[in-house]
Structure 1
Amino acid sequence: MNGDFLFKQVYDYVLNRIELNEWKEDDKLPSIRNLAADMKVHRLTVLKAYQLLKQENRIYAKDKSGYFVQSSDNSKYDNQDIPMISAYVQKNHLSEIHKVPVSYQFSQALIDPNLLPNRYISDYVKKVFDLYPKVLSTYSTVQGDEELRQSLSGYFNRQYKMFTNPDHLLITTGSQQAIHLIAQAFVKARDTILLERPSYSSAIDMFRAIGANIITVDIHPYGYDLEQIEHLMKKHKPRLFYLNPTFHNPTGYTVPPAQRKQLVQLAEQYRCLLIEDDAYSDIYFDEEPPTPIYTYDTSGMVIYIKSFCKYISPGLRIAVMMNGHESVRKSLFTVKSLADNGSPLLNQKIFLHYFSSSRLQQHVEKLRIALQIRKEIMEKELSAANWQWTSPNGGLNLWVQLPDHLSTEDLLTKAIDQSISFVPGQICDPLKQPSSWLRLSYSFANEEQISKGIRKFINLVQRDGSHASEA
């Protein structure tokens, strides 16, 4: 089992470097000896990975010269009938599912553009050009616009009593970039990290691309098993623990306050960074969620990521990272400067003036009501099926379990044929094991689409299930 795991790590590492275009066509790959030494595996493990990649036409060998990256000519690959399904099976990239246009969109954890403040933001765009006539002629600083950082610092101090200051903040181009910067700054190949199981699929992909050794922590409706976490931290000495504790993606679970405080204590004791990804805490329905884990941090062991993309303007791509330790921040500033030398200043100024307006609070309150209605419609339709889920108190997703004998991966192909999309549970699993779970997002489709689409989906699943039983 361990040998298979190491082989898959080497295979995934090489394939991801090729797919990210870090190793380009006809580039020579590291020698078997060197890659085995770098990844601390046996040379036969690397040879096995190279041979499989060669069989799949991803690399080729030259006699006495080594291995090289194969041409990306699609004619060299054996594609399945549906390109999206082929890409999904090979890469497990969520983006491959999103590329397929469907009538009933339940895979995208995005908010229906009709629910976003498009008209108001366009008004603020005009104001920004009046206030900052040279905004298009100026770069932002690497850390982010000082005026925006000052405003956000005040917001966090008022909202969560964080006692942060503008120097603790780094503006990023969305939370996905923030995760990527953290991976680049603090993780190298074969470093051990902890990920929730299930977890945010893009984070899984990013840490796997780095070549990290991923250890999983189960998340439940009640939170975590802290004894499990302490055991893993003590045994494996992980570099970091990436977690999404508030209206978790994909499950919707929320970690209780007592566990949040204990997590910080464990992180301090075992010197493990906690990466708190907070994209959904403002999208609550009945009552506000617990304050972030970051509020318990006194030693700089928590990096807090707050994204505003989902519910204000996905097009602006504004997120912020916070940390109280100077050396941690310096590492992040360095990789940010290498990535883009600072997020676009225009986007930051537009966001700043809308974020500080009275319009925003009115928008968010209405948005919560609209999303709660859509969630309840989806749950009402799902109640006709004998499926299991825990109703979330916020966020954008339902994490639904189908009968065990059904494969959600096979079901995806049939659902796409019916113009329905969802996220199979395997995509959200760091271990990529077959799963009867799936994620349904209620935020992008409107009320009528949810009702019709879920009824159609239930019929599809029940029909598929009866055929499987007969077989």
Structure 2
Amino acid sequence: MKLQTTQKDHPLLYRQVYDHIVARIQRGELVAHDKLPSIRMLAGELQVHRLTVFRAYQLLKEEGKAYVKEKSGYYVAPMHEITGLPTYEKSSAAARTYRNEMSDIQRVPSVYQFSQALIDPNLLPNLYLSQYVKEVFDRYPKMIGTYSDLQGDAELRDFLGDYMTGRLKVSISADELIITSGAQQAIDLLARLYIRPLDAVMVERPTYSAALDIFRAQGARFLPVDISPGGYDLVQVEEMMKRHKPRFFYMNPTFHNPTGYSVPAGQRKELVALAEKYQCLLVEDDTFRDIYFGEPPSLPLFTYDTEGWVIYLSSFSKYVAPGLRICAVVGRSSVIQPLLTLKSLADNGSPLVNQKLFLHYFGSERMQNHLEKLRIALQIRRDLMIESLRDTGWQWTVPEGGLNLWVKLPDQLSVDMLWQRATAEAVSFVPGAVFDPKREMRSWFRLSYSFVNEEQIRTGMRLLTNLAGSMDNR
């Protein structure tokens, strides 16, 4: 993330630098009498003017958090404790702007909705689920009158502990699970827990756009890691971990959103080894694991973690019942306990009714039969969308799972112009720049084949390719 920098910096920017240094002291990364980075070095790392760093260091000195050695630099002052961030009339937190670009795009009215990475409701077993509603209310007649356990319903966590043990091939207990209201809440809680202003966070390029917006709201600096059909450049990953000491690496390595790529098994083991070596948390968002069209995907990174450096997110909202908003966060106690405190502040526990419904439906034989049929239906829609692009000259990699197709237009065509024309004709998709931490991927866009039926794919894709063709002929 490049901050706004001119000779006259943003009036609150130096306070963000100040908050960044205070947070590092609070976390124990800098201790009493440690030398702070030179003004030149920190200005280069954060991409701000040197005067901005100088003002931040002067404020640290004035508040007794740093002292100066002549001709040597600034050092951390010896203090028994630094608690909280400073309060001032216009804090950096108050100056933040909150945005959700994906939500803005998905609110644009459309008939051919290729921007929604959700399952077509007609593909979900709604009749079966409605039968479970009555059964669950008969079994737990008082559940609507009480809260869930903060960590999640104990019966559900016991069930998911066994389920995750089978999925991850390592023993998972109920105490190592938190139930959140979807994966997005889990990402938000983790961002609030770990990110302070100007903290470095590794993210894939491209990546899930809502995660980028959440991290931006916390003041993160992005360290983009390119993802390709072959995975990551591990030399690049190691260099970033070694040099920048990021707070975590947020990743979606299985049927990646938006590209559909999957990171090879060998790289997964190496990534965990790098995380342990450089003490960098890996946040593994595994939302699409069960949506595969051939062989099941490689084991999650969490499987190879023996030291507690991987946090595993398994959301079931996409393909079981999106309205229930169920996600399981799996981690060791060092992660689970502070997350519980934040969860208590967010909502004091996810709705109990949703958890009981999910428990009894997800564990049923009907659910497993539904999954098999769902994979077939989605593969048909994927193939239909790809067939509609055969003669366009556009580029894509066929995804082996997930809900999305990542497409590149020829250089002479503009994704932004195509989006404007398409939405005017009730066709929607997501421009690639939304997924890019650098906001530069302007030849790419995401098409989701999961929310629309086969006839809508045929008609909507015909409209979209015709619009692009008319632009090409101008």
Question: Which residue of structure 2 lines up, in the alignment, with residue 328 of structure 1?
Answer: 335
User: Please, which of 456, 460, 464 is the counterpart of residue 457 of structure 1?
Assistant: 464
Is residue 381 of structure 2 the alignment partner of residue 374 of structure 1?
yes
Q: Write out per-residue CA displacement over residues 240-290 of structure 1, whole angstroms, 9 at most, x where no aligned residue.
A: 000000000000000011000110000000000000001111000011001
CA distance in 2, matches of 1:185, 1:303: 13
Larger helix share, 1 or 2: 1
Is residue 235 of structure 2 the alignment partner of residue 224 of structure 1?
no
Question: Which residue of structure 1 lines up, in the alignment, with residue 69 of structure 2?
Answer: none
- Aligned to 2:355, what secondary structure does the other structure show? helix
| Residues 304-383 of structure 1 mapped to structure 2, 5 A cutoff | 304-324=312-332, 326-383=333-390
Question: Which residue of structure 2 lines up, in the alignment, with residue 25 of structure 1?
Answer: none
Question: Which residue of structure 1 lines up, in the alignment, with residue 216 of structure 2?
Answer: 208
RMSD: 2.4
- Aligned to 2:348, what secondary structure does the other structure show? coil
Q: Check whether the contact 1:257–1:290 (CA below 8 A) recurs between aligned residues.
A: yes
Is residue 257 of structure 2 the alignment partner of residue 249 of structure 1?
yes
- Aligned to 2:376, what secondary structure does the other structure show? helix
Provide the TM-score with structure 1 as the length reference: 0.83
Question: Which residue of structure 2 lines up, in the alignment, with residue 7 of structure 1?
Answer: 4
User: Please, which of 397, 402, 411 is the counterpart of residue 409 of structure 2?
Assistant: 402
| Structure 1 residues 204 and 8: CA distance shift in structure 2, 3 A | farther
Unmatched tracts of structure 2, length 5 or more: 22-47, 54-88
Q: Check whether the contact 2:13–2:52 (CA below 8 A) recurs between aligned residues.
A: no
- State the Cα distance separating 1:42 from its structure 2 match: 5.0
User: Please, which of 177, 183, 195 is the counterpart of residue 175 of structure 1?
Assistant: 183
Q: What amino acid is the match of 1:303?
A: I
- Aligned to 2:4, what secondary structure does the other structure show? helix
Is residue 18 of structure 2 the alignment partner of residue 37 of structure 1?
yes
| Structure 1 residues 105 and 31: CA distance shift in structure 2, 3 A | closer
CA distance in 1, matches of 2:229, 2:356: 39
Q: Write out per-residue CA displacement over residues 368-401 of structure 1, whole angstroms, 9 at most, x where no aligned residue.
A: 0000000000011111210110001000000000
CA distance in 1, matches of 2:202, 2:118: 26
CA distance in 2, matches of 1:283, 1:229: 27
CA distance in 2, matches of 1:215, 1:163: 33
- State the Cα distance separating 1:33 from its structure 2 match: 5.8
Identity, in percent, stands at 55
- State the Cα distance separating 1:37 from its structure 2 match: 2.9
User: Please, which of 141, 154, 169 is the counterpart of residue 133 of structure 1?
Assistant: 141
| Residues 27-426 of structure 1 mapped to structure 2, 5 A cutoff | 34-35=15-16, 37-38=18-19, 93-324=101-332, 326-426=333-433
- Aligned to 1:364, what secondary structure does the other structure show? helix
| Structure 1 residues 234 and 446: CA distance shift in structure 2, 3 A | same
CA distance in 2, matches of 1:389, 1:159: 30
Q: Write out per-residue CA displacement over residues 203-226 of structure 1, whole angstroms, 9 at most, x where no aligned residue.
A: 000001100111100000010111
Q: Check whether the contact 2:281–2:311 (CA below 8 A) recurs between aligned residues.
A: yes
Q: What amino acid is the match of 1:192?
A: A
Q: Write out per-residue CA displacement over residues 88-138 of structure 1, whole angstroms, 9 at most, x where no aligned residue.
A: xx9561111111221111010011000001111111111111111110111
Q: Check whether the contact 2:260–2:399 (CA below 8 A) recurs between aligned residues.
A: yes
| Structure 1 residues 452 and 303: CA distance shift in structure 2, 3 A | same
Q: Check whether the contact 1:36–1:42 (CA below 8 A) recurs between aligned residues.
A: no
Unmatched tracts of structure 1, length 5 or more: 15-29, 47-64, 71-86
Question: Which residue of structure 1 lines up, in the alignment, with residue 453 of structure 2?
Answer: 446
- State the Cα distance separating 1:321 from its structure 2 match: 0.3
Q: Check whether the contact 1:92–1:427 (CA below 8 A) recurs between aligned residues.
A: no
| Structure 1 residues 453 and 151: CA distance shift in structure 2, 3 A | same
| Structure 1 residues 68 and 351: CA distance shift in structure 2, 3 A | closer
